[in-house]
Amino acid sequence: MKHLEKKIKRSLTVAILLTVSNISPLFAQNDAKQVYYGSDSIEHKFDPMDSVEVSLLTCSPHEEIYSLYGHSALRWHSGDLDMVFNWGMFSFSKPYFVLRFVFGLTDYELGAYPFDRFWPYYQQWGSSITEQVLNLTNDEKRKLQQALGENLKPENRVYRYNFFYNNCSTKPRDVIEQCIDGKVIYQEREDFAPTFREMVRECNRYHCWSQFGNDMLLGVKADLKTTREEQEFLPQNLMYDFARAQIYKDGEYRKLVKEQRLLVPPGVQKFVVSLIPDPTMAACMLLLLSLCIALYEWRKKKICKWWDVLLMTVQGLVGIVLTVMIFSQHPTTSLNLNLLLFNLLPLLFIPAIIKGKRSTWRKLQLAMLLLFATGGIFQSYAEGMWIVALCLLIRIKK
């Protein structure tokens, strides 16, 4: 999800320390106060929560690869106190960050800092920020206040991140629902049940190689239809559902969102034109090269072992990555039918190919291709993969 630049990241530690150390006095409940009118004294119970606005902030995507899915945060605004609670904080500097992310062992944390440090980042990237002011009672605000204070404690603010099920969008939703006195009733969307893969593809529609990588790593479970709750891993979907949700209690309904504002309008985003061919074009180039090599072999009555070794090496190396993902905690990567074609077997048969013993490998490769084709019924493969499979099929006839 979306993350802040180095400038804001550097301020995270200070912001958290300040917030945690001051969370109790800042969020303390005020007692009843005395209001005087002339010589008469009238006891007036003043509730400080009357002036508090709690909002869900939804930031639209921008063109940095880590921000293609948008971002969500909570805003607590009361007088001079204007804070953002952001569950999307992490640090690249932590040891083995990329490796931990691949295995689903990434830890994110909740950060709290002034709103004025939050919105300029998105404005400079051309992202919009939509604010949905929640229709909470004062008691619900107090529950949320206590929940945020508890979440900000050093022992609680770090959590195990999961892209689909526990991220910067689901976290604020969950803490809001827990503090509602009643039940949140969502309006289900008719004829809208996309798969995780379809939603991820849509977010990466202008980043073909990012889309390709996601499609290679996501398995069969990513092609199952999602529920409304699962769809809310994307901030835009959560914002849509919040706008139409109601709170039900004792036979009465009230809207979850009482006001929606556009805090930061969308700006101009810069698109970098890539000179790298897209996956389909790259696969077509590979196919053309394979056909040229096959024609050369036919004319010369010889076999280019180096080409087989190269294809099998790539096939096997990709298989290593996919095999590793079986052990990842990401729930949609464990059963990946790409493994039917990209696995460790090609690496084991390279010595036989070098020695000119092709018979066993040809039969095995054909079986793998047939299984891969059958798997296409259950899993949507990455762009260009059918063309790559055709390139491998050409080698079988030799």
Q: 72 lies in which domain range?
A: 6-264
In a shared domain, residues 243 and 340: no
Helix (H, G, I), strand (E, B) or coil at 261: strand
| Token duo for residue 151 | 């979440």
Q: Confidence class of residue 62 from pLDDT cuts 50, 70 and 90? A: confident
Percent of the chain with pLDDT over 70: 84
Q: Could you tell me if residue 273 is inside a domain?
A: no
Q: Could you tell me if residue 381 is inside a domain?
A: yes
Tens of pLDDT, residue by residue over 191-205, are 899 999 999 999 998
In a shared domain, residues 310 and 210: no
In a shared domain, residues 240 and 98: yes
Last residue of a domain, one of 239, 264, 289: 264
Q: Confidence class of residue 273 from pLDDT cuts 50, 70 and 90? A: low
Report long-range pairs for 147-151 (Cβ below 8 Å, ≥24 apart). 147/175, 147/178, 147/179, 148/23, 148/27, 148/74, 148/76, 148/85, 148/112, 148/175, 149/23, 149/24, 149/27, 151/85, 151/110, 151/175
Residue 177 CA to residue 322 CA, distance in Å, equals 37
Last residue of a domain, one of 214, 235, 264: 264
In a shared domain, residues 236 and 363: no
Q: Could you tell me if residue 181 is inside a domain?
A: yes
Mean pLDDT of 354-370: 93
Q: Confidence class of residue 67 from pLDDT cuts 50, 70 and 90? A: confident
Q: Could you tell me if residue 86 is inside a domain?
A: yes
Q: Confidence class of residue 305 from pLDDT cuts 50, 70 and 90? A: very high
pTM for the full predicted model = 0.84
Last residue of a domain, one of 215, 234, 264: 264
For residue 6, is pLDDT > 60? Answer: no
In a shared domain, residues 248 and 321: no
In a shared domain, residues 178 and 242: yes
Q: Hey, which residues does 75 pair with through a beta bridge?
A: 55, 84
Tens of pLDDT, residue by residue over 325-335, are 888 878 888 89
In a shared domain, residues 208 and 138: yes
Amino acid at 66: Y
Tens of pLDDT, residue by residue over 23-39, are 434 443 433 333 333 34
For residue 64, is pLDDT > 90? Answer: no
Query: If you average pLDDT over every residue of the chain, what do you get?
Result: 86
